[in-house]
Chain A
Amino acid sequence: MLKVLKSGFFVTIQDLGRFGYRDIGVPVSGVMDQISVKKANKLLDNKPEAAVMEIAMTGPTLLFESPTYICLSGAYLSPALNNKPIENNKVIKVLKSDVLSYGRLEEGFRSYLAVKGGFKTKKVLGSYSQYFPVTENKCLEDGNEVLFDETVSFNPLLSGIKMENHLKLADLEVYRGPEFELLTDQQLASLFSKPFTVSKANNRMAYQLSELIAGHKESMLTSGTLPGTVQLTPAGRLIILMKDGQTTGGYPRILQLSETSICVLAQKKFGDSISFTLQ
C-alpha cells in the first residue's frame, strides 16, 4: 500500500482501458501513453494490463507503506526517492516508509509510476481506470491510500529496454478519417503544410489546437468516435479526442491518429508544436 501525502495536478490510476461498454456510451479510458507504460510494466515483469499511476505535469508525494519494486517512465518530472534523485526506465527497490516525490517537469507531460504486480484499487466494469462518474472519484486526492501487493525480492530479467524516445517526436502519423473527403484543397493545404500548437484546452478527454483552419457548413448525424479521432468544428477548430473522449460525436471526423501518435500527443502540453503526416 502507499499513501498519497500530497496529490499532484492530475494523478489517476489507469490500466489499458475499459472494454465492452462502448455501446452504452462509456469511454475506453486507460493510459494515454501506452508505449511508456508497456516499457515500465515489461521491466517489472508485470502483465501489460497491470494498473499504473498516471501523473500529469506536477507529481504527487507518495509514502510507501509496504516494500515493492517500482519503475518510472514517460515524462521526466525530476523524481526523487527519499530526496535522492532517481532515473526513469530503471527498476528501483522501495522499502517501507520510503517517500517518492517529484520536482520540475523536464520532458514530456505524463509520467507513469508502475509497481511490481500493479496497483490493486477497486475494479469497476472490468477496469481499474479512473473515470468519473463510472468510478467514484476522478483522480487521487491527498490522504488516499492505494493498494498493491508487497514484494520483498525480485530479480529483474531486463536491465533496460532500448527504444526510440517518442517524447521528442512532434509529427503525428494520421490516416484518412471517415469524413476526410469533405476537406477542400485549401483545408488540406493548411492541415499538412504547417505545424499546429496545443491549446490550453487539453486533457484526457481531448486536445484542442490553437490555430483554426477554414470552417465548413456540413451537418452530419451523430456517429461513433475513437481515441485519436480528429474532429473539425464548423468554425474550423481541430479537436483531437483522447482516451476519455466521448464515444459518439456530430463533427466531421477528418483524420485518425495512429496508436503511436496518440502516445506522442499524450506527452504534449499547452504551447507545444505538432504536425500531421498522412500515411
Chain B
Amino acid sequence: MKSYPIRIRPYGKHAVLVEWPNLVDKSILEDILAFVDCFKSLNLPGWEMSAAYNSLTMVNHLGEIDYGHIKKLIDECHSKKTKTSNRTERYLWRIPVCYDLDFGIDIEETSATLGLSVKKLIELHTSFEYTVYGIGFLPGFMYLGGLPEDLEIPRRKEPRLNVAKGSVGLAGKQTGIYPQDSPGGWNIIGSCPVSIFNPDLEKPCFVNVGDKIQFYKISSAEYDLRKIEGEVGIYKPEKTILNA
C-alpha cells in the first residue's frame, strides 16, 4: 500500500488536524483509514476521529492535549501503520432508490440538461460504486466520490427551503442522500426509503468512511415495503465485504 507524507498541526487545545496531500484519491483515503486503525489500537482515552477526503480531525473531549506527545504518536503510527493487524472491515452497500417522478422531482429537467434519457440517467447512476470519503454536515450525510462525468450538473440556481428526508441528489461531482429534511440546492432524482442514520439503533449509522455505495432501482411498491421495514426495524441493508 502507498504511504503519503502527512502534515500535523494543533487545532485549538483539544484537537489535532492531520492532512494528507490535497487530492480526492482512493489510495489517500486508504492511507488515512489504515492510520485510524493503528491509532485506535493504542486505546488512548477520549479520542474521536473523523476522516474527510484528505484530512483527519482528531479531538479529545477529556481535556487539553499534550501536542508534542500526541504528534510523536501520530508520526509513529503513520510510519508503521501497514503492520497493524486489526483492520476495520469495509463493505459495499446496495442502497434502494425509487426514481419515479413523485420522488425524482428534478429527474426530467436534469436528464434534459445532461442530454440523456431518464432511463440512461438511472442506468448510469446505478452502475457505479461510489466511495464514502466522509460523513458529516448532517448526521449520516455521506460525501460520495466517483460520480461519472456524464452526471455532473451544477447545483440548482435557487436552493429549496425544504428537501425531503431520503432525497437522492446530484450536484457537481457529488451524489448523495439527504439524511433528514433540510434546505438544499441539489438536483433531486429519486428517493431512498431507508434511513442511513437511525439514533435508536446501537450502531446508528451502518455505513463507515471507506465503504462503498451502489444504488439500485426499485418500484414505488418496493419503496413502500422497504420504508415500512425500516420503520419497524427489520430492514437489513444488502452488503458485500470488500477487504476479506
Contacts and interface: CB of A to CB of B under 8 A. Distances in A.
Contacts of A228: 12
A201 to B, nearest CB: 14
B55 A221 contact: yes
Interface in B14-44: 14-15, 17, 19, 22, 24
A233 to B, nearest CB: 15
B52 A221 contact: yes
Interface stretch (B97-105, B113-121, B132-140, B221-229): B132-140
A61 interface: no
Interface residues of A, number: 35
Nearest to B36: A23
A-B pairs with the 3 shortest C-beta distances?
A224-B57, A248-B136, A24-B205
A17 B136 contact: no
Interface residues of B, number: 40
A221 B12 contact: no
B51 interface: yes
Contacts of B235: none
Contacts of A248: 50, 52, 134, 136-137, 143
Given A222-B134, A226-B59, A175 B12 contact: yes
B5 interface: no
A248 B140 CA distance: 12
A248 B176 CA distance: 16
Given A134-B139, A178-B17, A21 B53 contact: no
Contacts of B208: 23
A22 to B, nearest CB: 5
Given A124-B199, A223-B53, A247-B50, A25 B139 contact: yes
Given A222-B53, A225-B57, 20 more contacts: A21-B139, A23-B135, A24-B135, A25-B138, A25-B197, A133-B199, A175-B10, A178-B19, A222-B134, A222-B143, A223-B19, A223-B55, A223-B57, A224-B55, A246-B136, A246-B138, A248-B134, A248-B143, A249-B137, A258-B12
Nearest to A220: B22
Contacts of A21: 139, 204
Interface in A1-46: 17, 19-28
Interface in B32-88: 48-57, 59, 61
